[in-house]
């Protein structure tokens, strides 16, 4: 092994510079800067190149992390990028928004031995941003043109990753999306301060330039029937995500000012993209966001940037039990968000129909339940009010009605689409599914992984179909 590695003993782990919280409250630009070249090499050199790379195992894409860290430490940056890109269609996006503390970095051996993790995500982002700058990200070039076609419903990370893999094999790929821009939650969910939209747009452009057709503003099941798609394409991938928001069901939740998280984030993202949006922002308002996941963190931090008077996050368990990324929670705290842990909404109070406060129950935690998480119960007589003229519900998402699109699809008890565990085929022949609509609300990196796996299965099936047709001639 090169003597450039194992430097974790002498060199401390360091993230790229982070903008000061008071500065970043005023705009939607990303909060982390880029590594300088020497710093990236130095940070990569902290990797211990351990025999069993737990980081690689914990990465849903099984990225060859130790290899590209060593190449980075040696200054072989193009090779490092090529290695990273072998297993990931969007390394610069994962480098920015994966909850690394729960994935690769959380399993890093030097982290678990108390030396502080190698900054895997930041190096991955650095390498791929450099690859774009240096022209190392090559145009999409199919190995050969193949006559059969694939229809992909949904231009989120699962659909885009699958589209790229299938197009690289030469299949004719059309991606349909009901939104006016491709990217799914990468473009209309995740805010700019975590992921600048130009980064998603250049990925989409590369796919379009490589021959993938995007049919936008088109909802399958409404604008075009599923049967029409089946008649047009030899295989279909459903990568439609989950968009049925869990709603509050407390007295007063119909008041003006009680809104859902995703439309709020979509409108904010649209403004950032230059669209004219009529809806109100959080400016000048007391905002309470209910929920403790990534969506809630994105809402509180968006409200801060929109100029809210106060922003609070209400969550029924405590900080340790929050489902969202600890890094994002810390970023929110730095930006001035108040956290009301162990608190649950009981009612929304209003003045003339407009939300004015949230009646809140104080909670206590109990024993772990069947899910492995601590149960919770209300502390009687400890209710209190939180001032709020905007209440944002960020309580999670469930699948929409998939049977309305295709009645023959078999669903799980969570209403996600049932697929073969390795082939990703649904109960309908030639129809595959991947991403959140299979796993339930999850992560971008898992959507990419499933998009890739489904594409591999579709490639095998289409190839067999072609061979059979040739043999029959
Ligand atoms: C606010 C928010 C923040 C998040 N932050 C993070 C984060 O920081 N890190 C992370 O890893 N994950 C994050 N996630 C989760 C992540 O975004 C998702 O797991 C991921 O985008 C799922 O990818 P997907 O391709 O399955 O679906 P999506 O990204 O949801 O894409 C599905 C696409 O299908 C389209 N579609 C749906 N139905 C139809 C139809 N009938 N016809 C045509 N088109 C249709 C939709 O318009 C959409 O574009 C976040 C999620 C949210 C909501
Ligand atoms: S894709 Fe995500 S989990 Fe995998 S190495 Fe990159 S940042 Fe870590």
List, for residues 115-171, the tens digit of each pLDDT value. 889 999 999 999 999 999 999 999 999 989 999 999 999 999 999 999 999 999 999
Question: Looking at the predicted structure, is the pLDDT value of residue 394 above 70?
Answer: yes
Q: CA dist 87 to 93, 94, 129, 280, Å?
A: 13, 12, 16, 42
Question: Looking at the predicted structure, is the pLDDT value of residue 257 above 80?
Answer: yes
**Two domains, one topology: 7-134 and 247-395:** no
* Chain-centre distance for alpha carbon 458: 24
Residue 216 has what pLDDT? 98
Instruction: Provide, rounded to the nearest whole percent, the portion of the chain with pLDDT above 90.
Output: 84
Pairwise CA distance, residues 301 & 304, whole Å: 5
Residue 372 has what pLDDT? 78
Residue 1 has what pLDDT? 54
Delimit the domains of the chain by residue range: 7-134, 149-243+398-472, 247-395
Residue 237 has what pLDDT? 98
Q: What is the mean pLDDT of the chain?
A: 94
Pairwise CA distance, residues 84 & 291, whole Å: 34
| The ligand 1 atom nearest the CA atom of 400 | 38
Domain 7-134 has CATH 3.30.70.260: no
List the beta bridge partners of residue 157.
none
Pairwise CA distance, residues 255 & 262, whole Å: 18
Structure token pair of residue 113: 């031995």
Contacts of residue 140, Cβ cutoff 8 Å, sequence gap at least 6: 164, 167, 168, 206, 207, 209, 210, 211, 212
Residue 262 has what pLDDT? 96
80, 94, 106, 118, best to mutate for ligand 2 pocket (most atoms within 8 Å of CB): 94
Structure token pair of residue 468: 């059979």
pLDDT (mean) for 275-298: 95
| The ligand 2 atom nearest the CA atom of 58 | 3
pLDDT (mean) for 92-112: 92
139 within 8 A of 116, measured Cβ to Cβ: no
Ligand 1-lining residues (CB < 6 angstroms): 97-98, 153-159, 176-179, 184-185, 189-190, 194, 219-221, 239-241, 265, 294-295, 298, 405, 435-436, 442-445, 447
Pairwise CA distance, residues 265 & 404, whole Å: 26
Q: Architecture of domain 247-395 in CATH?
A: 3-Layer(bba) Sandwich (3.50)
Structure token pair of residue 291: 């929920």
Tens of pLDDT along 160-194?
999 999 999 999 999 999 999 999 999 999 999 99
Q: What CATH number does the domain located at 149-243+398-472 have?
A: 3.50.50.60
Nearest to 399 by CA among 447, 443, 438, 445: 438
Question: Looking at the predicted structure, is the pLDDT value of residue 2 above 60?
Answer: no
Instruction: Provide, rounded to the nearest whole percent, the portion of the chain with pLDDT above 70.
Output: 100
Pairwise CA distance, residues 339 & 334, whole Å: 11
């Amino acid at each position: 092994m090169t003597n450039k590695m194992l430097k974790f003993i002498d060199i401390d782990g360091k993230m790229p510079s982070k903008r000061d919280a008071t500065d970043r409250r005023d705009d939607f630009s990303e909060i982390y800067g880029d590594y300088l070249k020497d710093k990236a090499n130095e940070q990569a050199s902290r990797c211990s190149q351990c025999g069993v790379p737990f980081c690689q195992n914990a990465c849903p894409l099984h990225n060859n992390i130790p290899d590209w860290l060593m190449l980075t430490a040696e200054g072989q940056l193009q090779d490092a990028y090529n290695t990273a890109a072998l297993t990931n269609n969007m390394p610069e996006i994962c480098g920015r928004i994966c909850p690394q503390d729960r994935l690769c970095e959380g399993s890093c051996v030097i982290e678990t031995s108390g030396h502080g993790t190698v900054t895997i995500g930041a190096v991955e982002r650095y390498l791929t941003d450099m690859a774009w700058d240096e022209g190392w990200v090559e145009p999409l070039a199919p190995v050969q043109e193949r006559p059969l076609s694939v229809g992909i419903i949904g231009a989120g990370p699962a659909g885009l990753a699958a589209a790229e893999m299938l197009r690289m094999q030469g299949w004719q790929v059309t991606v349909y999306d009901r939104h006016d821009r491709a990217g799914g939650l990468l473009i209309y969910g995740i805010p700019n301060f975590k992921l600048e939209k130009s980064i998603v747009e250049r990925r989409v452009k590369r796919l379009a330039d490589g021959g993938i057709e995007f049919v936008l503003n088109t909802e399958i099941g409404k604008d075009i029937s599923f049967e029409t798609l089946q008649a047009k394409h030899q295989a279909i991938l459903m990568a439609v995500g989950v968009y049925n928001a869990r709603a509050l069901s407390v007295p007063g939740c119909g008041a003006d000012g009680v809104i859902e998280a995703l439309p709020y984030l979509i409108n904010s993202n649209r403004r950032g993209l230059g669209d004219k949006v009529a809806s109100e922002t959080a400016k000048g308002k007391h905002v309470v966001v209910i929920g403790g996941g990534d969506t809630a963190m994105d809402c509180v931090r968006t409200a801060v940037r929109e100029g809210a008077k106060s922003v609070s996050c209400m969550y029924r368990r405590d900080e340790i039990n929050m489902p969202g990324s600890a890094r994002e929670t810390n970023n929110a705290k730095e930006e001035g968000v108040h956290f009301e842990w162990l608190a649950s909404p009981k009612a929304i109070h209003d003045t003339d129909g407009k939300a004015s406060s949230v009646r809140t129950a104080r909670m206590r935690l109990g024993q772990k339940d069947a899910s492995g998480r601590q149960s919770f119960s209300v502390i009687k007589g400890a209710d209190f009010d939180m001032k709020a003229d905007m209440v944002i519900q960020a309580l999670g998402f469930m699948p929409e009605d998939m049977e309305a699109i295709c009645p023959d699809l078999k669903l799980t008890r969570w209403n996600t689409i049932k697929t073969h565990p390795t082939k990703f085929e649904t109960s309908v022949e030639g129809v595959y599914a991947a991403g959140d609509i299979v796993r339930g609300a999850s992560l971008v990196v898992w959507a990419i992984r499933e998009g890739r796996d489904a594409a591999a299965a579709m490639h095998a099936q289409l190839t067999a179909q072609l061979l059979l047709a040739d043999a029959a001639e």
